[in-house]
């Protein structure tokens, strides 16, 4: 750390991050479930506290679980789709889209399966874990677009619902997310690795840093000498490996960064 930087560390996190943001040629923002928490979308762990404490989320998010009890798994995903449909992007999503207008090389690598970044106006978004809204046939892989969301779905995480059938082969439709034990979409992963390799600032927002391979991206950046910043209300697996660990919500951090850049 040079003299200017050691002085910078005494400043507010927003000032430090704004300094690094201005200096960066290329910025990657890695988002996790915490990015959507202020829009009312439960994170993985929060989901365990609710009705779903009876179930292990990893057992709801595997191909084996789907094959064993399709109505349970599909019903849970229909609830998640309805919850996201009813949610709105928050100030942090909107600030991130504005930050990309200031720094056009900014791109987003998201572990989230919602569409809140896009609805906030962000253009360069990779979804490493797929999308809730890209359902396809479990048997033949063809897309299935017209998923029906019952009006009460957003209130019913324990809704049991059989998945629709594929119009081509009659197979059952599955959600378009990457389940535990499945490989990430190759193209998305390659692009994410390239963006992270080429960037000179990586900001990890609202991720616990325990779901691999996404969780390896901050250390890929770090090993190349790239500045890595984390924003999260609590300490995480990443906290000891970053240049700046900022205890804040996604909304506070991104609005704070935007405000610091405008002063």
Nearer to ligand NAD by Cβ, of 121 and 233: the residue is 233
Q: Which does 147 bind (CB under 5 to 8 A by kind): ligand NAD, Zn ion, none?
A: none
Task: For the CB of residue 132, give the shortest distance to ligand NAD in the complex, in Å.
Answer: 7
Distances from the Cα of 112 to the Cα of 16, 83, 84, 178, 205, angstroms: 27, 14, 11, 10, 11
Q: Which does 166 bind (CB under 5 to 8 A by kind): ligand NAD, Zn ion, none?
A: Zn ion
Nearer to ligand NAD by Cβ, of 111 and 166: the residue is 111
List Cβ neighbours of 32 (8 Å cut-off, separation of 6 or more): 43, 110, 111, 112, 204, 205, 206, 207, 208, 209, 211, 214
Nearer to ligand NAD by Cβ, of 41 and 166: the residue is 41
Identify whether the C-beta of residue 135 lies closer than 8 Å to the C-beta of residue 173. yes
Task: For the CB of residue 243, give the shortest distance to ligand NAD in the complex, in Å.
Answer: 18
Nearer to ligand NAD by Cβ, of 107 and 249: the residue is 249
Q: Per the structure block, which two tokens stand in for 137?
A: 């046939």
**Interface with ligand NAD (CB under 6 A):** 32-34, 36-38, 41, 43-45, 111-114, 129, 206-208, 211, 232-234, 236, 249-250
Show which residues are catalytic: 129
- Centre a 10 Å sphere on the Cβ of residue 12 and count the other Cβ atoms it contains: 11
Looking up tokens 């019903």, which residue turns up?
75
List Cβ neighbours of 116 (8 Å cut-off, separation of 6 or more): 35, 36, 39, 41, 84, 87, 88, 89, 90, 93
Task: For the CB of residue 179, give the shortest distance to Zn ion in the complex, in Å.
Answer: 18
Number of H-type helices and E-type strands within the chain: 11, 8
**Interface with Zn ion (CB under 5 A):** 137, 139-140, 166, 168-169, 171
- Centre a 10 Å sphere on the Cβ of residue 184 and count the other Cβ atoms it contains: 19
Task: For the CB of residue 167, give the shortest distance to ligand NAD in the complex, in Å.
Answer: 27
Q: Which does 137 bind (CB under 5 to 8 A by kind): ligand NAD, Zn ion, none?
A: Zn ion
Q: Which does 111 bind (CB under 5 to 8 A by kind): Zn ion, ligand NAD, none?
A: ligand NAD
């Amino acid at each position: 750390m040079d003299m200017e930087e050691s002085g910078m560390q005494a400043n507010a996190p927003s000032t430090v991050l704004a300094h690094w943001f201005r200096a960066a040629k290329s910025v990657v923002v890695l988002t996790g479930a915490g990015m959507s928490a202020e829009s009312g979308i439960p994170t993985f762990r929060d989901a365990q506290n609710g009705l779903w404490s009876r179930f292990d989320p990893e057992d709801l998010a595997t191909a084996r679980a789907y094959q064993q009890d399709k109505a349970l798994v599909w019903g849970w995903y229909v609830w998640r789709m309805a919850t996201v449909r009813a949610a709105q992007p928050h100030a942090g999503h909107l600030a991130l889209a504005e930050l990309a207008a200031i720094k056009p090389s900014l791109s987003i690598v998201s572990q989230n399966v919602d569409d809140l970044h896009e609805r906030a106006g962000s253009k360069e978004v990779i979804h490493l874990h797929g999308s809730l809204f890209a359902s396809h046939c479990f048997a033949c892989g063809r897309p299935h677009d017209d998923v029906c969301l019952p009006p009460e779905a957003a209130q019913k995480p324990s809704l049991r619902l059989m998945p629709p059938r594929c119009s081509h082969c009659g197979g059952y439709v599955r959600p378009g997310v990457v389940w535990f034990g499945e490989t990430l979409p190759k193209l998305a992963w390659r692009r994410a690795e390239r963006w992270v390799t080429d960037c000179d600032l990586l900001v990890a927002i609202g991720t616990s840093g325990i779901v691999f391979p996404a969780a390896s991206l901050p250390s890929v950046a770090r090993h190349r000498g790239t500045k890595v910043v984390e924003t999260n209300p609590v300490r995480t697996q990443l906290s000891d490996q970053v240049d700046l660990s900022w205890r804040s919500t996604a909304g506070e951090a991104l609005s704070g960064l935007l405000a610091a850049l405008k002063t």
